[in-house]
């Protein structure tokens, strides 16, 4: 397993990671997406702007890191999670004060009475990439 955020210098092309991937393999990355609509909308109050995220990888940079390590991106898609309103509402209010409460008030009453879960965007990106045992770092 390669973690991209434990150090600002860790990535799939590091010497330790390169030894792990010599025979090829598949990597699944889930990371905050600074290119997401939510990141652009909320800017400095973006929920993923946290101290534990030592580095944020725009999509083009993530693709470049993977290519340099000999990986080919197979698929990428926005990350999602299931949340209830007790989790979602305080975060939405902090990101978009003055807008969220009036819009969500009717939904809150209905959802709380039914204990509903919502599939919500996380402003992250999930990337699936593969590296063949013969893959070259020159792949596009």
Which of 38, 57, 71 lies closest to 140 in space, CA to CA?
71
Global model pTM greater than 0.85: no
Q: Which residues of the chain have pLDDT under 70?
A: 1-21, 95, 100-101, 104-105, 107-114, 134-140
- Buried (b) or exposed (e) across 14-34, using 16+ Cβ within 10 A? eeebeeebeeeeebebebbbb
Dist CA 24 CA 15 (whole Å): 15
Span 104-117, pLDDT tens digits: 667 666 666 667 78
Span 76-90, pLDDT tens digits: 998 888 888 777 777
């Amino acid at each position: 397993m390669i973690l991209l955020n434990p150090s600002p210098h860790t990535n799939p092309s590091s010497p330790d990671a390169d030894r792990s991937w010599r025979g090829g393999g598949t990597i699944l990355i889930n990371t905050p997406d600074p290119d997401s609509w939510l990141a652009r909308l909320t800017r400095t109050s973006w929920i993923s702007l946290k101290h534990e995220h030592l580095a944020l990888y725009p999509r083009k940079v993530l693709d470049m890191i993977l290519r340099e390590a000999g990986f080919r991106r197979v698929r990428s898609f926005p990350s999602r999670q299931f949340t209830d309103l007790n989790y979602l509402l305080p975060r939405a209010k902090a990101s978009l004060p003055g807008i969220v409460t009036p819009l969500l008030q009717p939904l809150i009453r209905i959802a709380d009475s039914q204990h509903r879960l919502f599939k919500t965007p996380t402003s992250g990106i999930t990337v699936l990439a593969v590296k063949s045992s013969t893959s070259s770092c020159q792949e596009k």
